[in-house]
A and B are shown apart, each in its own frame.
Chain A
Amino acid sequence: MRLTKILLASSALAVSAGAVAAADMANSMTLVSWGGAYQKSQVNAYSEPYKAMHPDLEVVWDESSNEAVAKLRAMDEAGNVTWDVVDVVAADALRLCDEGLAMEIDPDVHLAAAPDGTSAADDFGDLLVGDCYIPQIVYSTTFGYRTDMVPDGVEPPNDICDVFDLETYPGKRSLEKRPINNMEWALLCDGVAKEDVYDVLATPEGQQQALDKLATIKDSVVWWSAGADTPQLLADGEVFIGSTYNGRLFSVIEEQKQPVAMMWDAQVFDLDGWIIPAGLPEDRLARALDFIMFATDTQRLADQAAYISYGPARKSSAPLVGKHAELGIEMGPHMPTDPENAKNTFLYNYEFWADYRDDIDAKFQAWLAQ
């Protein structure tokens, strides 16, 4: 054991000063994710194959992504960062990066190139937002509706404004208990053109306009805060239509066989990916980087799509997306990025929300309490 260690260490030194030998990597790794079907897809596509390559490694999963920012701050303050790789949405990654809590990533050093030799930076393209973020998937926040609750003689909803149309589509709606997405949808349905939405939303009048539009359906809204809420409400028949992440709806429709269908109009794209906390000890950092290099390569990202309907963040992974691992259905048409589904999409503006989030959040919560 010691001999190999010395051999490996010396050969590594000889090859390059920067490379770290396998024996110097920590033997346990704490990964933080969201729990549920999403985490399961990561276990299946990333950590199980990685563990198969490193049988000594112990992988611990922590379902704390929801409060990752707060917990990382506390860990940093206490000088005791126990996480190695953390799954967060892009907005959280930007905040963590700004606060110096996440490590900066150089895509060409830390990420694998595509099989055809395209550099990682080009392969991820625009999705590499911020300096610390390693995107895994593109997901969308969109709507699902109960097919058996569509009134007789009425077309099923296919327009975002149908959510605001209580006359044609009576019944409860579930919307996320935060302004993001809801404000944009409200303005879109109040006659604001798609490209002007964020300009309007930057003004107090525009914010009021969005809230006024939301007020027209406020009495019929059930507000959700966890991704699992809308699937439960739809399965219960408690709501007619509700927003949530498209993967959750896929699971309701295809795996749980509930009478629910997708309404993709004005779906909002967002990213989910990894960050590595800043200031990890050397052996754990080496392990985290090694895992990231493996788990975000072209094949692994495509593999994840076999377990959940989120689009891989690499361009080179798209052609490799195949069938669902258990259901055997073609996953392509269930991806938010599928051309059929992405006829009318809405681009979430990170910079706008980074600047206006606190302000609009306060207004939104005050409006909710009215």
Chain B
Amino acid sequence: MATYTLKYVEKKPLSFSLQVLAAAGGFVGLFVGAAQSTMLNGVIGGAVLMAVLGVLALSVLDEKLEKPFRWGVILLMAAGGWYLGGLAGLIVGGLFGWFFGWFIYWIGEGRYRATLLPYLTPGQVLGHYTFRVVCGLIFFFLITPIVVVMPLSFNAENFFTFTPKMLSLDPEGYSLKHYRDFFTNPDWQQALWNSVSIAPVATLLSVSFGTLAAIGLSSEHVPFRRAIMAILISPMIVPLIISAAGMYFFYSRLGLQGTFWGVVLAHAALGIPFVIITVTATLVGFDRSLTRASASLGANPVTTFFRVQMPLILPGVISGGLFAFITSFDEVVVVLFVGSAGQKTLPWQMFTGLREQISPTILAVATILVGVSIVLLTTVEMLRRRSERLRGLSPG
């Protein structure tokens, strides 16, 4: 029986390690083989290679040789990648080598138990890592479609295609011309300008009306609160195309169809539910006696709202506003109906661009928008943390 230490790391028998390594090698070999159009050879080659490397590392070579051995694996796989796929292959091969060099020792030396509770059964350990791998796969599934457009936006050709030049990392296969197109083409610039002038106004309207509605609806003396709430939330629940068609006919009669304010109002209506929901959620934790205390000190309701209530519900207002902004910025269905060509927003331009002329400029715009979203969300999150820290709400 093994002696139990706090960290249950011990060398595994070769029969176990080699099977796992060969399976992993075969799995990766499947993809490498598929790229060379010989899947079977890939699987067998990968499995054999990993088994041989495993035997070398775990039973033939001295443990002290771990570092040189891992470098050796990186070099070996990078060379193999170079042979099969040039420069890009070299990089991918090197990454594989780095991973497998680590993986061989991780499995073979039993290091995978290092961070786990020592009394877990093998089944629980397997379950733990299976869960992690599944989470990783879900993450991969969600993020890949977004990431894959980024290199394509630097394509030197006018198609959504990874050209052989791009795959071999030839600088000639890449170009900034789609970004140049975005910044110089009047259609795109007009669309960008429309988007950035519509979204903030719509956000402002959503936030003001949504916050007021949420505060009103959270006080108990308002009759039919649930019904009113349901109506205000409905733009979020009713299929967008139905709201859009309804707005089209309604706004046409009012003369708002095809005007800047028509689009702003439509987007505000779509953004209000988000603000109501987030603000209502923060109001749940709001202590009503604070408003009474404020009133007892002589503040009128407006002062109370801005000085007492608003600072406390601000996180909800800001995140609601952020959602309202993104709703307006990303919205394509309603603007197609309510707007006319003069209010063509970025998503509209991307939509027509995709349908009529599959141009990588769309990908360049998408990349820029993803970058802007990341910066925006990071900033908000940092501000939120900072204000919490200042108010002493979190130890961070």
Contact = CB atoms under 8 A, between A and B. Distances in A.
A151 interface: no
A36 B356 contact: yes
Interface residues of B, number: 23
Contacts of A34: 356
Contacts of A235: 157, 159, 161
Given A78-B249, A79-B252, A80-B257, A60 B341 contact: yes
Given A231-B159, A256-B157, A256-B159, A61 B357 contact: no
Interface string B286-309: 000000000000000000000000
Contacts of A80: 252, 255, 257-258
Contacts of A327: none
A228 B356 contact: yes
B258 A82 contact: yes
Contacts of B187: 61
Contacts of B325: none
A156 interface: no
Q: How large is the interface on A (under 10, 10 to 19, 20 to 34, 35 or more residues)?
A: 20 to 34
Contacts of B357: 35-37, 228
A232 interface: yes
Interface string B236-272: 0000000000001100110101100000000000000
Contacts of A226: 355-356
A212 interface: no
A60 B342 CA distance: 7
A236 interface: yes
A231 B358 CA distance: 9
B355 A66 contact: yes
B356 A63 contact: yes
A37 B353 CA distance: 11
Interface of A: 30, 32, 34-37, 39, 60-64, 66, 74-75, 77-80, 82, 226-229, 231-232, 235-236, 256
Interface of B: 157-161, 187, 248-249, 252-253, 255, 257-258, 340-342, 344, 352-353, 355-358
Closest 5 CB pairs of A and B: A35-B356, A62-B341, A78-B252, A36-B357, A235-B159
Given A36-B356, A60-B341, 16 more contacts: A32-B341, A36-B357, A37-B357, A60-B342, A61-B341, A62-B340, A63-B356, A64-B352, A77-B249, A80-B255, A82-B258, A228-B356, A228-B358, A229-B358, A232-B161, A256-B159
